[in-house]
Amino acid sequence: MPEIRVTPLGAGQDVGRSCILVSIGGKNVMLDCGMHMGFNDDRRFPDFSYITRNGRLTDFLDCVIISHFHLDHCGALPYFSEMVGYDGPIYMTHPTQAICPILLEDYRKIAVDKKGEANFFTSQMIKDCMKKVVAVHLHQTVQVDDELEIKAYYAGHVLGAAMFQIKVGSESVVYTGDYNMTPDRHLGAAWIDKCRPNLLITESTYATTIRDSKRCRERDFLKKVHEAVERGGKVLIPVFALGRAQELCILLETFWERMNLKAPIYFSTGLTEKANHYYKLFITWTNQKIRKTFVQRNMFEFKHIKAFDRAFADNPGPMVVFATPGMLHAGQSLQIFRKWAGNEKNMVIMPGYCVQGTVGHKILSGQRKLEMEGRQVLEVKMQVEYMSFSAHADAKGIMQLVGQAEPESVLLVHGEAKKMEFLKQKIEQEFRLLPDAKKPRLLHGTLIMKDSNFRLVSSEQALKELGLAEHQLRFTCRVHLHDPRKEQETAMRVYSHLKSVLKEHCVQHLPDGSVTVESILIQAAAHSEDPGTKVLLVSWTYQDEELGSHLTSLLKKGLPQAAS
């Protein structure tokens, strides 16, 4: 049995700080290197001392793989590579490589400039870290070294998100990162071939949820936004700059167009335009429909959505604002939230999952009085809505992926312990018996082991190489047949009978009067005592035993009456 060891340094039974160590076939691979949104102390990064107490990261790890650009999957990367020290290769897809440094820089700015944290990674560190990145294509088999190979599959969670197969010899692990099994307005569905890994490490954010159809959720979302705007309220939608934001923008853009609405839609931070540009240039990573129509109409060019200025927040009248970050834990979305929270006409829509400890998580769990910095208490009167738009697979999707990949075993990560327990049972129920990977075929030969080399050769070849002679084992059976005719005639009757019965075998009548079936010889002889009986001598070698013994039992039944 292959030994595969998995050590989650983060996101074992939790969401955030994804970082999983996998040891397979003597190779050590780190999957993702994320930060935790819920913490502001040491706990926000994975604890790399687990590795470093035994030596340097570079010596221990053969490679690092980043599944997508969300900070809970790549946020600790500069800290890991530049501050703790790792010089080996870091693999990610092209879009991830393009977008990841921007989000890291954004994150750094909030931490250092806004919160004044010291001893954080610098811009230069982000740049140096990105120099260690090797970009991979979808489905490309990347040979990390002579034995270790990795391969990326489309994951559909955000632009450039990928699942990775890690393979050493005949052992393999698939790590899903975050993925989505249903295509949405801008991305396609995750897909993997029947690669039958020994282990599938899958996220399980929505382990117990089976979400209703996307259309219903979209209609619901539009209805809520529309109602709020109609009554003159302001709608805040906290999002991350890339990902859900684009999907919701496409949704609102088409809705505004259709309903001819006039209320302004804003998108905070200068990142938007840049973000949309990434979507335009990496359009091959989006869904079929967008790719097909992009020449005529690029879905990422918005007419109704404009850049947000901080001053707009105090403007009278309705508006919709997309603001970052998505969990209301810092930055512009939190600022706007504080401004608008007191008015019950306003609404905040949380379109994704919120990590424990964030303001987003607090208001979603029903808290209406929030303690802010400086012991201020903020009373939340605005409407709080939750809409699951985050593109994670639900229970059905996870089962689907397990079915696609046909792994030997499944490991659930990136979710909550209780929910995992439920999903575990479900997977065990449904996939108890996995079919065997290969179709075996029976082959006869001799295995020669020489100088730790194995060779399978034909038996003849083996005897020859060993200088042994073959020992021939032959059987001759006497079959008594009631037949008063001459021997030659008996032989003739045997021949025509066998010829008609054994259509798939070569039956011959030889000049010397004997009959052969393949290499089996049949001769007719007179009985020494009874002239009315003939003796058939059926002779075959051990190698033809099956046919030989079949023939004797066939002949024992006698010959059909001649049709003369």
Catalytic residues: 203
In the bound complex, what is the minimum distance in angstroms from residue 554's beta carbon to other proteins?
9
In the bound complex, what is the minimum distance in angstroms from residue 140's beta carbon to other proteins?
4
Q: What Cα–Cα distance (Å) separates residue 524 from each residue in 7, 91, 291, 535?
A: 77, 78, 80, 6
Instruction: State yes or no: residue 289 binds other proteins (CB under 8 A).
Output: no
* E strand intervals along 212-289: 234-238, 265-267
- Helix or strand or coil: residue 3? coil
In the bound complex, what is the minimum distance in angstroms from residue 118's beta carbon to other proteins?
30
63 to 102: interface string for other proteins, x by CB under 8 A: -------------------------------x--xx----
Instruction: State yes or no: residue 293 binds other proteins (CB under 8 A).
Output: no
In the bound complex, what is the minimum distance in angstroms from residue 455's beta carbon to other proteins?
8
Instruction: State yes or no: residue 6 binds other proteins (CB under 8 A).
Output: no
Stretch that binds other proteins, among 18-26, 135-143, 237-245, 350-358 (CB under 8 A): 135-143
Instruction: State yes or no: residue 288 binds other proteins (CB under 8 A).
Output: no
User: Is 389 within 8 Å of 248 (Cβ atoms)?
Assistant: yes
Vertex 362 angle, CA 360 and 367, to 5°: 130
Among 446, 496, 514, 516, binds other proteins (CB under 8 A): 446
In the bound complex, what is the minimum distance in angstroms from residue 405's beta carbon to other proteins?
16
Judged by CB under 8 A, the chain residues 477 through 506 that form the site for other proteins are 477-480, 501-505
Judged by CB under 8 A, the chain residues 198 through 227 that form the site for other proteins are none
In the bound complex, what is the minimum distance in angstroms from residue 243's beta carbon to other proteins?
16
Instruction: State yes or no: residue 135 binds other proteins (CB under 8 A).
Output: yes
Beta bridge partners of 151: 141, 165
Q: Residue for token digits 């090797």?
A: 134
Among 474, 510, 525, 526, binds other proteins (CB under 8 A): 474
227 to 266: interface string for other proteins, x by CB under 8 A: ----------------------------------------
Cα gap 324→107, rounded to integer Å: 11
Cα gap 122→455, rounded to integer Å: 57
Q: Which is closer to other proteins, CB of 210 or CB of 456?
A: 456
Cα gap 513→526, rounded to integer Å: 13
Q: Which is closer to other proteins, CB of 112 or CB of 138?
A: 138
Among 53, 258, 369, 441, binds other proteins (CB under 8 A): 441
In the bound complex, what is the minimum distance in angstroms from residue 555's beta carbon to other proteins?
8
For helices 244-259 and 271-281, give the axis angle rounded to 10 degrees: 100
Instruction: State yes or no: residue 295 binds other proteins (CB under 8 A).
Output: yes
User: Is 23 within 8 Å of 361 (Cβ atoms)?
Assistant: no
Q: Mark 173-201 as b/e (b = at least 16 C-beta within 10 Å).
A: bbbbbbbbbbbbbbbbbbebeebbbbbbb
- Hey, what are 409's tokens? 């075993």
What DSSP character marks residue 518?
T
Among 438, 449, 450, 453, binds other proteins (CB under 8 A): 438
User: Is 263 within 8 Å of 317 (Cβ atoms)?
Assistant: yes
In the bound complex, what is the minimum distance in angstroms from residue 19's beta carbon to other proteins?
25
Among 468, 531, 557, 563, binds other proteins (CB under 8 A): 468
Q: What is the dihedral of CA 342, 348, 353, 355, to 10 degrees?
A: -20
Q: Select from 381, 301, 306 the least CA-distant residue to 345.
A: 381
User: Is 221 within 8 Å of 322 (Cβ atoms)?
Assistant: no
Judged by CB under 8 A, the chain residues 137 through 166 that form the site for other proteins are 137-142, 151
What DSSP character marks residue 139?
T
Q: Which is closer to other proteins, CB of 93 or CB of 346?
A: 93
Stretch that binds other proteins, among 199-207, 208-216, 354-362, 458-466 (CB under 8 A): 458-466
| Length reported for the chain | 564
Instruction: State yes or no: residue 527 binds other proteins (CB under 8 A).
Output: no
How many residues touch other proteins (CB under 8 A)?
66
Stretch that binds other proteins, among 76-84, 373-381, 521-529, 538-546 (CB under 8 A): 538-546
Instruction: State yes or no: residue 508 binds other proteins (CB under 8 A).
Output: no
Q: Which is closer to other proteins, CB of 489 or CB of 518?
A: 518
Q: Which is closer to other proteins, CB of 220 or CB of 545?
A: 545
Cα gap 191→402, rounded to integer Å: 11
Instruction: State yes or no: residue 371 binds other proteins (CB under 8 A).
Output: no
Q: Which is closer to other proteins, CB of 84 or CB of 195?
A: 195
Instruction: State yes or no: residue 386 binds other proteins (CB under 8 A).
Output: no
Cα gap 175→424, rounded to integer Å: 17
Burial (Cβ within 10 Å: 0-12, 13-18, ≥19) of residue 417: exposed
In the bound complex, what is the minimum distance in angstroms from residue 424's beta carbon to other proteins?
30
Instruction: State yes or no: residue 297 binds other proteins (CB under 8 A).
Output: no
Instruction: State yes or no: residue 443 binds other proteins (CB under 8 A).
Output: yes
Positive/negative CA dihedral, 559, 560, 561, 564 = negative
In the bound complex, what is the minimum distance in angstroms from residue 547's beta carbon to other proteins?
6
Stretch that binds other proteins, among 2-10, 237-245, 377-385, 474-482 (CB under 8 A): 474-482
Q: Mark 223-254 as b/e (b = at least 16 C-beta within 10 Å).
A: ebbbebbeeebbbbbbbbbbbbbbbbbbbbbe
User: Is 551 within 8 Å of 538 (Cβ atoms)?
Assistant: yes
Strands 520-526 and 533-541, how do they pair? antiparallel
Q: Residue for token digits 């998995």?
A: 6
What DSSP character marks residue 468?
P
Instruction: State yes or no: residue 521 binds other proteins (CB under 8 A).
Output: no
State which H helix or E strand residue 95 sits in: helix 94-109
Instruction: State yes or no: residue 463 binds other proteins (CB under 8 A).
Output: yes
Q: Residue for token digits 């809970």?
A: 72
Chain contacts with other proteins (rule: CB under 8 A) = 94, 97-98, 135, 137-142, 151, 274, 277-278, 280-284, 294-295, 438, 440-444, 446-447, 456, 459-460, 462-463, 468-480, 501-505, 518, 538, 542-547, 549-550, 552-553, 555-556
